[in-house]
C-alpha cells in the first residue's frame, strides 16, 4: 500500500483528499492518506479525522512516515516542502503554480526532476480538451486561425475557496493570471503548442496590492495564429469557476463552456456536431451524492494516473503534466507580467527546446 501524506490542509488539500478517498474506497488504487500537515495544526487534525490519518507535528515527521507527498500549501510554501521531500527521494504531486515567480519555479522544478512527480494542472486530463486537441492536431478543419478563452471566478479569498492567502502577493505571487489562468496557459500549450511572444494588460479593482483581478493576455505563434485569454476575478458569489473556449479554424469553430466533460460543439458549413465526453468508467464506484461525482473525478483522474504510474514504474515513474509542461506555462506567465508592467509591449519567449531534453 502506498502511504500518502498531504501537506497543506486548506481548500485544495481537502479537494485532493476527497478525490483520493473515493479512489481508495472504490478499490481503484492501493493507497491511503495516512498523514497530514499544515502550518495550522487544527486544519491538519480536521483533515486527518475522516481518513483515519495521523496529523504530523512537523513537516519532517510527515515526510518520515509516508511514501508519496501531495503538496497543497499556498504557492510560496511549495519550495521548502518540495525540496525537503525530494531530498528524501519521495515522489511528489505538486499543486500549481510551482512558485510565485519564475526563478523560484525553476528551483522547484530542479527538485522535482530528481524524483517521480506530477504537477496539478488538471485540465490536461479533461476529456473535452483532449477532444479539441485531437481535432486540431488532425488537421481535419484546416489551420487554427484564432483562439479565445474566457476564464472567470469569484475572488477566491471568500466563499467555498476561503483562501485568504490569495490576497497576499508574498504568498501567491500575483492574482488571477498566475493563480487561475496558469491552467489556461498550459491547456493552450497542449492544443496550440508554444507561443513565440506574449502581450498583456492587467488591472486591480479590489485593492489587494500586487494581486491583479483582471488580465487580458494575447499569445502569438510562429505561424501567425493568436490566442487571447481573458481572466477575471469578480464578486458574483453565485457564479463559481467558469471557462469558455472557442477555437476558430479555417473550416470549423470548436467551442465548449464546460472544462471537464463538455460537450464540445463543432460548427461547420454543414451544421453543428455535438461531441459528448464520457466520465471514466470507474466513476460508478464513487459513493455519496451523484452531483459531486464528476467534480471529484476531475481531480481523481490525474491522481489515479500518478498513483498508477508509481505502482507500475516505481522510481522511474513520471506523471503528466510534468515539470517541463509546468515550467513552459510559468515562462508565459512571467512574460505576461513583464509585458503588463511595460504597458502591453510584446515580450518574446525564449526557446522551449529544453522541454525535450
pLDDT at 354 over 60: no
Report domain extents, the chain.
2-123+294-322, 124-277+327-348
Instruction: Tell me what pLDDT residue 292 has.
Output: 77
What 3-state class would DSSP assign to 39?
A: coil
**pLDDT tens digits, one per residue of 240-269:** 899 999 999 999 999 999 999 999 999 999
- Nearest alpha carbon to residue 186 among 325, 75, 302, 323: 325
In the chain, the percentage of residues whose pLDDT exceeds 70 is: 98
Instruction: Tell me what pLDDT residue 355 has.
Output: 43
Weakest-pLDDT range from 126-140, 150-164, 339-353: 339-353
Report yes or no: 23 and 303 within 8 Å, Cβ to Cβ: yes
Q: Would you state the cell numbers that stand for residue 357, as one nine-digit string?
A: 531534453
Q: Say what the pTM is.
A: 0.95
Instruction: Tell me what pLDDT residue 93 has.
Output: 98
Instruction: Tell me what pLDDT residue 289 has.
Output: 65
Cα separation, 336 vs 169, whole angstroms = 16
Which alpha helices (DSSP H) does the chain contain, by range? 11-25, 41-48, 59-63, 78-87, 102-112, 127-138, 169-172, 176-179, 182-192, 293-313, 323-341
Q: What is the mean pLDDT of the chain?
A: 95
Instruction: Tell me what pLDDT residue 351 has.
Output: 56
Cα separation, 251 vs 93, whole angstroms = 40
Cα separation, 349 vs 222, whole angstroms = 11
Residue 85's pLDDT band, with cuts at 50, 70 and 90, is very high
What average pLDDT does the segment 273-286 reach?
92
pLDDT at 288 over 90: no
Q: Which residues contact 82 (CB under 8 A, 6 or more apart)?
A: 71, 92, 94, 108, 111, 112
Report yes or no: 66 and 3 within 8 Å, Cβ to Cβ: yes
CATH class of 2-123+294-322: alpha beta
Q: Would you state the cell numbers that stand for residue 323, as one nine-digit string?
A: 515539470
Report yes or no: 53 and 47 within 8 Å, Cβ to Cβ: yes
In the chain, the percentage of residues whose pLDDT exceeds 90 is: 94
pLDDT at 271 over 60: yes
Question: Is the link from the previous residue into 321 a cis peptide, with omega within 30 of 0?
Answer: yes
Residue 192's pLDDT band, with cuts at 50, 70 and 90, is very high
**pLDDT tens digits, one per residue of 24-57:** 999 999 999 999 999 999 999 999 999 999 999 9
pLDDT at 353 over 70: no
Identify the residue whose cell numbers are 507580467: 337
Instruction: Tell me what pLDDT residue 291 has.
Output: 73
Whether domain 124-277+327-348 has CATH 3.30.360.10: yes
Dmax (CA) of the chain? 63
What 3-state class would DSSP assign to 264?
A: strand
Instruction: Tell me what pLDDT residue 357 has.
Output: 37
Instruction: Tell me what pLDDT residue 293 has.
Output: 82
Q: Which comes out higher in pLDDT, residue 352 or 149?
A: 149
Cα separation, 44 vs 36, whole angstroms = 5
Cα separation, 239 vs 156, whole angstroms = 11
Instruction: Tell me what pLDDT residue 88 has.
Output: 98
Amino acid at each position: 500500500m502506498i502511504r500518502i501524506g498531504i501537506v497543506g490542509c486548506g481548500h485544495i488539500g481537502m479537494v485532493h483528499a476527497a478525490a483520493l478517498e473515493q479512489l481508495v474506497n472504490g478499490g481503484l488504487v492501493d493507497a491511503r492518506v495516512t498523514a497530514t500537515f499544515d502550518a495550522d495544526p487544527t486544519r491538519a487534525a480536521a483533515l486527518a479525522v475522516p481518513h483515519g490519518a495521523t496529523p504530523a507535528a512537523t513537516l519532517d515527521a510527515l515526510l518520515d512516515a509516508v511514501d508519496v507527498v501531495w503538496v497543497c500549501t499556498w504557492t510560496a510554501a511549495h519550495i521548502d516542502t518540495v525540496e525537503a521531500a525530494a531530498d528524501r527521494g519521495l515522489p511528489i504531486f505538486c499543486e500549481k503554480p510551482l512558485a510565485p515567480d519564475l526563478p523560484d519555479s525553476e528551483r522547484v522544478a530542479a527538485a522535482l526532476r530528481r524524483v517521480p512527480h506530477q504537477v496539478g494542472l488538471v485540465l490536461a486530463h479533461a476529456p473535452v480538451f483532449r477532444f479539441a486537441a485531437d481535432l486540431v492536431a488532425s488537421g481535419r478543419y484546416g489551420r487554427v486561425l484564432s483562439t479565445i478563452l474566457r476564464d472567470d471566478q469569484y475572488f477566491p479569498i471568500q466563499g467555498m475557496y476561503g483562501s485568504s492567502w490569495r490576497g497576499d502577493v508574498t504568498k501567491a505571487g500575483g492574482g488571477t493570471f498566475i493563480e487561475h489562468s496558469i491552467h489556461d496557459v498550459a491547456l493552450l500549450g497542449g492544443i496550440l503548442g508554444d507561443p513565440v511572444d506574449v502581450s498583456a494588460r492587467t488591472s486591480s479593482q479590489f485593492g489587494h496590492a500586487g494581486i491583479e483581478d483582471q488580465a487580458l493576455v494575447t499569445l502569438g505563434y510562429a505561424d501567425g495564429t493568436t490566442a487571447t485569454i481573458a481572466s477575471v476575478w469578480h464578486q458574483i458569489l453565485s457564479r463559481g469557476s467558469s471557462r469558455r473556449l472557442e477555437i476558430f479554424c479555417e473550416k470549423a469553430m470548436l467551442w465548449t463552456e464546460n472544462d471537464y466533460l463538455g460537450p464540445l460543439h463543432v460548427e461547420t458549413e454543414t451544421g453543428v456536431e455535438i461531441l459528448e465526453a464520457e466520465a471514466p468508467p470507474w466513476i460508478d464506484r464513487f459513493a455519496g451524492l451523484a452531483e459531486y461525482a464528476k467534480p471529484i473525478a476531475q481531480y481523481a483522474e490525474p491522481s489515479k494516473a500518478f498513483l498508477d504510474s508509481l505502482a507500475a514504474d516505481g522510481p522511474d515513474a513520471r506523471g503528466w503534466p510534468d515539470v517541463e509542461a509546468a515550467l513552459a506555462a510559468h515562462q508565459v506567465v512571467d512574460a505576461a507580467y513583464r509585458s503588463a508592467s511595460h504597458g502591453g509591449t510584446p515580450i518574446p519567449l525564449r526557446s522551449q527546446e529544453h522541454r525535450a531534453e
